[in-house]
Amino acid sequence: MSMNLYVCARAKAIIANNNKETTITNSFDLWQTPTKVTYACLESEDVAAAYISWVRSVSEDEKEPIYAPDDYLCENDPIGYETINCGENHIKELLHWIKEQDGFEIEWSTI
C-alpha cells in the first residue's frame, strides 16, 4: 500500500457559549507522493522544504494555448500561449496556507 504525505494545522480553542475546549483542524491537499519520497520527506529536518523540492523535481513548465474570448469551443487557432507550471502554483498555495496557519501547530504525517 502506498503511503502519502498529510499536513494539517491544529489549535486549541474555547467555545464561547459553553467554555468547552475544542481542537480546530485545518488541512491542505498535497500531491500524491511515492512511498519512498514520503518517508524521505518525513525523515528530513524540514519536511516542507523536502516536499517542495520533490514537487519542483517532478513539475515542468507547460505552454497552454490562449483562445479568443468569443471562441468558446476553441475551434480556431490560439491567439497566444501562456506558460503554466502546476508545481509552482501548488507550492505558492502551500506556502500561503502555512502562512495563514499562524498560531496553529503544523503536523506532517502519512495517510
Predicted pLDDT at 83: 97
Question: Which band of pLDDT confidence, cut at 50, 70 and 90, is reported for residue 2?
Answer: confident
Q: Tell me 79's DSSP state.
A: S
Alpha carbon distances (Å) from 34 to 30, 48, 49, 72, 105: 12, 16, 17, 38, 25
* pTM across the whole model: 0.86
- Cα(50)–Cα(4) distance, integer angstroms: 14
In degrees, rounded to 5, the angle at the alpha carbon of residue 95 between the alpha carbons of residues 46 and 15 is 95
Quick: pLDDT tens for 55-94: 999 999 999 999 999 999 999 999 999 999 999 999 999 9
Domain count of the fold of the chain: 1
Provide the residue range defining the domain that includes 89: 5-110
- Mean pLDDT on 12-22: 92
Residue 111 CA to residue 22 CA, distance in Å, equals 23
Q: Is the pLDDT of residue 21 over 80?
A: yes
